[in-house]
Amino acid sequence: MDSSAQASASSAIPENVFSPALEFAFRITIILGAPLDQGTYEGRRRRIIPILRGSVAGPGFEGEVLPGGADWQSVGVEDGVASIYARSTLQHRDGAVVSMINRGVRRGPPEVMARLAAGERVDPAAYYFRASPQFEVQPGPHGWLAQNVFLCAGKRWPDAVHLDIFKVL
């Protein structure tokens, strides 16, 4: 790259770019039921995956995942990219109830995605599973959940998911 091209490329990056940090808040382990297949239409395979129960553990929250939520997924027939829309209910050990909406994406090489779809245990480093959880909770000691932005790094296991939740600082 010549010097004029370098100058042009570097001027495209604004000065003093602020890059937020992440702080681990908690891990959610969700036990899943058998998927309910809705069929394929509009180029996407659609299914609903029931949330049976689970646990929440970490410095920011200790409690359980209550039964009754689900993950409404649609998976691209051509590219295998899964669009995730999950709703679940968490209960802190002090009794506070928190709603969570978690939207995200899971994608990877076709052979890796096929192994996940077949129910195999796959190394999470082999695929991308990220989401942006949002929490609804009454004001009080857990209000910080509704007052911050969070990112989630997910791991899909044959009958469960681990969601590592990070607060964006």
Within the chain, how many helices (H) and strands (E) appear? 2, 9
Cα–Cα distance, 105 to 75 (Å, whole number)? 10
Please count the CA atoms within 13 angstroms of the CA of 66 that sit on its side-chain side: 14
Q: Which two tokens stand for residue 141?
A: 């000691």
Give the ranges where the chain is alpha helix by DSSP (H). Answer: 3-11, 110-117
* Domain 28-168 class, CATH top level: mainly beta
Question: What are the residue boundaries of the structural domains of the chain, listed by start?
Answer: 28-168
In sequence order, what are the residues at sequence separation of 6 or more whose Cβ sits closer than 8 angstroms to the Cβ of residue 76? 43, 44, 82
Instruction: Judge if pTM exceeds 0.85.
Output: yes
169 residues of the chain, pLDDT tens digit each: 555 555 555 567 788 888 899 999 999 999 999 999 999 999 999 999 999 999 999 998 999 999 999 999 999 988 889 999 999 999 999 999 999 999 999 999 989 988 888 888 999 999 999 999 999 999 999 999 999 999 999 999 988 999 999 999 9
pLDDT for res 116: 86
CA distance 112 to 79: 12
Q: Name the residue type at position 69.
A: G
Residue among 39, 109, 102 nearest 74 (CA): 39
For residue 103 the two structure tokens come to: 């939207």
For residues 128 and 152, is the Cβ–Cβ distance under 8 A? Answer: no
Distances (CA, A) of 153 to 14, 77, 123, 158, 162: 28, 24, 13, 17, 8
Q: Using DSSP, state whether 19 is helix, strand or coil.
A: coil
